[in-house]
Structure 1
Amino acid sequence: MSYLVSELASGAYVIAVEDNDTWDVASYTNLYVLKREKQIILIDAGLERYQAAIIEALAKIGVTPDAVTHVLLTHGHRDHAEGANLFVHARKFVHAFDFPFLDVRLASKFLPFTPQPGETLLTAQGVEDIEITLVDTHTPGSVVLYDRISKAMFVGDFFCYFGEALPERELVAYSDATRKGSCHYVAGQAAGGGDEFNRFMLGLSKLLAYQPEFFCTGHGIVLRGEIQAFIDSLWKSGVNSRSDEKNNE
């Protein structure tokens, strides 16, 4: 099974496993590694069938599965959670709302993120410099994680590029075309409206205050550079399209 590995910033990496068999379309499933002085944090864990590729990819950045200290899931779907059983020494976290998505044996090895004052902020016990926000889109327990050190924002499938080819095979890129396409997609979803889109916009509003340098999704390209402006553009695409719909009623 093929994969790509790229460094985002010092100590922060993306591993993208190419999967041509699991779904009706070929896609990449992304995992992220944060190497700290005393911790190695994995964000999402892929499918169990990816484990040989993940072990090989980790070796390229000097990490063994036994060295991983924490696994943090953006959400509980199996293509992000199933591979967590490889990391036997890691403390594993997922939002409590997403426990039902986990296999019973796997769920017993996970802890819930710890709620903080307020309705949406969370932490993973023992992990510093990562802000965790509940966005409640895609799954009830979907979270976005922001790493203050690398300035990477990990959004899981809250917004991702599942089934899309990498622009010129570049895993980490600015990609103006991807940004414009994302805004068009949000505008199109706004026209349809509905509860799911309303939850998406509420979740997106929680990300507007951050200052990320990388937009790290669960599948496909990682966007780099001017990410705050990109998120603001997504927000405006949704708000303006909804306003246009109301004006045309």
Structure 2
Amino acid sequence: MNTLGRCAVVAVLIATAAFPASAKRKAHHAPTPNKGHLEAATRLQIFLDRANFSPGKIDGRYNEVTKKALALYRESRGEQAQTAPSRSNAKSNAAPDVNGLDLASAEPVFIPYTVNEADLQSIGPLPKDVAQQAKLKFLPYRDPADALAEKFHSEIHFLEQLNPGKFKAIKPGDQLMVPNVEPFDLASVKEIKPGSEVTSQAANEMEDQADAQSGTTAENPHQEQHPRCLSG
């Protein structure tokens, strides 16, 4: 076989070997849900968030945390337990059974919001050194996108999807579309003193703690610190 022929064979072998890896990468890439699917999933997440059954960070997907929150919500209302989805279905973006839920109460799903100066007051540099972080009264948000994502209980990428091109340089006066949840008061983070505790918890978070702390008494419930608060 001449040199040209050998080169051709090598090229074919390389292309054949590379194809499965490329196909595998594409197979694991989660497709972006269409507008109707995203809105329906967000509606359910807002409904659960308002009912104090946290679906996790709102992301417009029927994720595993959302499905678990829905199951606990139904259980709290005395509804018959539904057949648990398989592990693969629980992690998929397939819609769960939402029959009987007052999802209309979550309308409108998205609302306009105008960014103001107060939204940006909890933003600042964060030292990499843990010892230096411990000296701060609160952990600042990295940037406006980080702060607004927490304010509306959402994933940053999700808000970027709702507001294409607007999250790169957010400033006061910008109008964004956000999920219709009860906004978190960003200013309250600065009012929390180091070592203080926050008692507000989602019902499903308390359920998880009850399972993990079956030996504790009701008179001494576990309380979580706010995620932005530093212990003293």
Q: TM-score, normalised by structure 1?
A: 0.23
**Higher-strand-fraction structure:** 1
Q: Which has the higher contact order (CA 8 A, sep 6+)?
A: 2
Q: TM-score, normalised by structure 2?
A: 0.24
